[in-house]
Structure 1
Amino acid sequence: MPEFLRRSVPRRRLLAGQLLFAPLVIGYKMGLVSGTFIRSLIVRFGYSGVPVSVVEARGLEFARSHLPGTLRPEALQRIAWHRSQGHAIVVVSGGLEAYLRPWCEAHGLELVCSVLEQRDGILTGRYEGPQCVLAEKARRVGERYDLKAYPAIYAYGDTAEDRHLLGLATERYYRWQKVEAAAGR
């Protein structure tokens, strides 16, 4: 998400935001400021009053030019394997729909993610509902899918914010290492 912010927030606003939020970013890196809190502030500052069409265009460009170079080969291999098994494949992310939706659509994947609120084609600077992080990831997945209908659920995570999502799975991987299955599944 930080790279998308650099590419999608108006330049003057981006520079001002970097100065304004530098202490909070340092606090975040030190574990003193929550990621949810700082993301909400950055989104508010960066996207308030920005036309949706501008962010969507930048998201499409980002999905085409930047995301392919950032994806781990293991992720693409696992997607191909799940597809060969006939599994439903869902990307669950705290990242923004503006760049994740075009990528997921191009690859035939379902998506559950954070969405920016808009009114009359202009972004408000708020999220539409809670950010799709922490327990919200698991809640949204459970709301959208009847998990009991699946004989196996695979989940992959790479940050501490994924622990709730991993807890839904019968087969779970953290940073590409298999971890013990969730109790009761």
Structure 2
Amino acid sequence: MTTNIAFFDFDGTITFSDTFTPFIYRSVDEKTLRRGKLRLLPYILAYKMGALSGSVLRKKVVRIALAGKSEAELKNAGLFYSKTEIPSLLREDAMNKINWHKSQGDTVVVVSASLDLYLKPWCEQNGLELLCSEVAFSGGKATGNYKQGDCSARLKKTKIIDNYDLSSYKVVYAYGDTKEDLDMLSLASIKFYQWKEMV
């Protein structure tokens, strides 16, 4: 039987707030944090002024904060974060909608620019599929890069098309809350922006 598929952005759609920045703060030592803030200051200011995209800023943060960190330690930190921090950030209406889709037999996919370090265990805990920004490792250490880039804007759309045959689903739903989600929303027959249906 043909089922439906639903794509959900994570930060600001499933959650009330950003999860990327708090995870970075919890994953690095005080010394790295202090140095990182200084190195990132020009980029943060440029982002706040609208001269730099969130995608570019996230890449800079990952490079400065995570490069050289132990793979095992980061994955353990992600698992801990998924269990202890994320539950308090979840929107009840979002989780109700996800559970409604699951009860209908729909495929539910989280599509996010946030990191696989904590999204993968959280999605596994909740029986959801996942497309997101993946931290690259080499020799048991984080390289400071992504495997395939920052999963936002056009890359969200590309990853969906590469991983799912949308023509095989009866209805395609999508849920997002920022302009970085508009490419993903363009694929859907029923779409919600900031929890209001788009027509």
TM more than 0.5: yes
1:48 to partner: Cα distance: 0.9
Instruction: Report the counterpart of residue 192 of structure 2 in structure 1.
Output: 173
8 Å contact kept, 1:10–1:46:
no
1:132 to partner: Cα distance: 0.7
Instruction: Report the counterpart of residue 113 of structure 2 in structure 1.
Output: 94
Q: Which runs of 5+ in 1 are unaligned?
A: 181-185
The one-character-per-residue Cα deviations of 1:102-157 (angstroms, maximum 9, x if unpaired) are: 10000110000000111111110001112111110011011000000011011000
Q: Which runs of 5+ in 2 are unaligned?
A: 1-19
Q: Secondary structure at the match of 2:132?
A: strand
Q: Secondary structure at the match of 1:169?
A: coil
Q: Secondary structure at the match of 1:130?
A: coil
Partner amino acid for 2:106? H
Q: Secondary structure at the match of 1:49?
A: coil
1:62 to partner: Cα distance: 0.6
In structure 2, distance between residues paired with 1:155 and 1:44: 30
In structure 1, distance between residues paired with 2:167 and 2:156: 17
1:11 to partner: Cα distance: 2.3
Instruction: Report the counterpart of residue 79 of structure 1 in structure 2.
Output: 98
TM-score computed with the length of structure 1 as normaliser:
0.95
Instruction: Report the counterpart of residue 183 of structure 1 in structure 2.
Output: none
Instruction: Report the counterpart of residue 108 of structure 1 in structure 2.
Output: 127
Instruction: Report the counterpart of residue 5 of structure 2 in structure 1.
Output: none
TM-score computed with the length of structure 2 as normaliser:
0.88
Partner amino acid for 1:139? T
1:26 to partner: Cα distance: 2.0
Instruction: Report the counterpart of residue 31 of structure 2 in structure 1.
Output: 12
In structure 2, distance between residues paired with 1:167 and 1:20: 36
Q: Secondary structure at the match of 1:125?
A: strand
Match of 1:131 among 134, 144, 150: 150
Q: Secondary structure at the match of 1:76?
A: helix
Partner amino acid for 2:144? G
In structure 2, distance between residues paired with 1:161 and 1:60: 26
1:10 to partner: Cα distance: 2.6
Partner amino acid for 1:144? N
Matched, 1:35 2:71: no
1:74 to partner: Cα distance: 1.3
Partner amino acid for 1:155? A
8 Å contact kept, 1:49–1:123:
yes
Partner amino acid for 2:82? A
In structure 2, distance between residues paired with 1:93 and 1:46: 20
Instruction: Report the counterpart of residue 122 of structure 1 in structure 2.
Output: 141
In structure 2, distance between residues paired with 1:41 and 1:103: 24
**Matched residues, percent identical?**
39
8 Å contact kept, 1:44–1:125:
yes
1:174 to partner: Cα distance: 0.5
Matched, 1:57 2:79: no
